[in-house]
Chain A
């Protein structure tokens, strides 16, 4: 799994690639926490490179959502591949997260050009 973080204005973007499962969760959580520590207005997680996601990874995203909301911030997901989108729909977490088609759509919605 490959993870990179980028800050654009007051939004932090975390991009994840590869298989997002129990083995990758600890590393992803380090990135999420580092991003949250920057106290961004918004955290965007780009899952465009994720071809598989399991329940522990979904739980990590739920934890991250709770943490950012504790900081009066919010979290969006973008660029979900079809297999990942199906998991979000099956668990109905697509209703709990703000989902965007891609990173630029997310940034536009957040007012970051």
Chain B
């Protein structure tokens, strides 16, 4: 089958680029897949997408949308009409096409528009839903009225998105919300999947200095200030050599955030800001960390990092917020919890893991088993199974006499 995938992709730095990289890496190894066209966003002038060289299905790039643009849907539909794939997949979240409401929302109509313009099935992997995103933290609603309007139109555009043939979500609660609120009968739960096959589990070494690491795109609902204050507190209370690694870059919605934080907390020693972390540096990033911390105010974008932390067998310190804890428990992970935005609570949670190696190793083992239970290459099989069902239905719809 020939697949078109609407997504971000490295070296593009939009959210879900790493997920796409791993998804495509395994998708192209499947014998059912003949060719993959990645419908990707425009890169800065000095960058370009490059084909992977290892064996597998053909990959090509069609650069046909731009973050914040208003005409993304039209361009994507035109690309699909030009390519004529068997199926169109979307690897998106509600703000994939823009940080502003209108471009973000308009982009979400692309699956419906493809369906209207062609008879090609569409399958959306949706990484979050409007109902569980803290709009204020995500920068989408500064006052109550705007928030209400955003939610109102968010519901309308969610309905548009649900006109895709299938919508996959990685958290059971998201499936339940879409089924209950929108009466959707085309949504399904799909495992997130571990990005790579399991590396051997190496427990963190017992010797100092301990290293605390956080990873993500920061500035909206991922804020490092409470974490830095927690590290400062621990450095002053028994862990003077404790290191903090802030790995990752600014959220597209918060340019300059990390530079400001770096200036503001220049007095706190042993903090390293890595900037964007290339794929090759990810293993060292995780294996050198004693503890991985999630200083998040919302669960959006958390599951990918949790799976990575688990796949490298790291103990995690997690915020005690609604569906994040649910995800952790349902998928078999264990963590040390802290009260979001409370640096003393966060310091206590980190200290518990640093001071009790046996407890830390238990969490490392547990998270390792949870993350490596279902590697991405198997998750891709689930998607292909659903696609085969879709293609079978599409064939029957086009050829009713042959049912």
Contact = CB atoms under 8 A, between A and B. Distances in A.
Contacts of B172: 90
A63 interface: yes
Contacts of A90: 172, 175, 188-189
A92 B374 contact: no
A62 interface: yes
Interface stretch (B55-63, B66-74, B249-257, B381-389): B381-389
Interface in B349-400: 369, 373-374, 378, 381-382, 385-386, 388-389
B323 to A, nearest CB: 16
Contact of B389 (A22, A59, A95): A95
B190 interface: yes
A96 interface: yes
A55 B381 contact: no
Given A63-B381, A90-B172, A96-B385, A56 B373 contact: yes
B385 A65 contact: yes
Interface size grouping (class) on chain A = 10 to 19
B319 interface: no
Contacts, number: 43
B188 A22 contact: no
A105 interface: no
Contacts of B331: 55
A92 B188 contact: yes
A66 interface: yes
A91 interface: yes
B381 A62 contact: yes
A55 B373 contact: yes
B378 A62 contact: yes
Contacts of B378: 59, 62-63
A55 B191 contact: yes
A87 B381 CA distance: 17
Given A62-B382, A63-B378, A66-B381, A91 B373 contact: no
Given A66-B381, A91-B190, A92-B188, A55 B374 contact: yes
Contacts of B374: 55-56, 59
Nearest to B393: A95
A55 B381 CA distance: 13
Contacts of A92: 166, 188-189, 386
Nearest to A22: B373
Contacts of B381: 59, 62-63, 66
A96 B188 CA distance: 12
Q: Which 3 A-B residue pairs are closest in the complex by CB-CB distance?
A: A92-B188, A56-B373, A96-B385
Given A65-B385, A90-B172, 10 more contacts: A55-B191, A59-B382, A63-B378, A66-B381, A91-B188, A91-B190, A92-B189, A93-B382, A96-B385, A96-B388
13 contacts: A55-B331, A55-B374, A56-B373, A59-B191, A59-B374, A59-B378, A59-B382, A63-B381, A90-B175, A91-B189, A93-B382, A95-B386, A96-B388
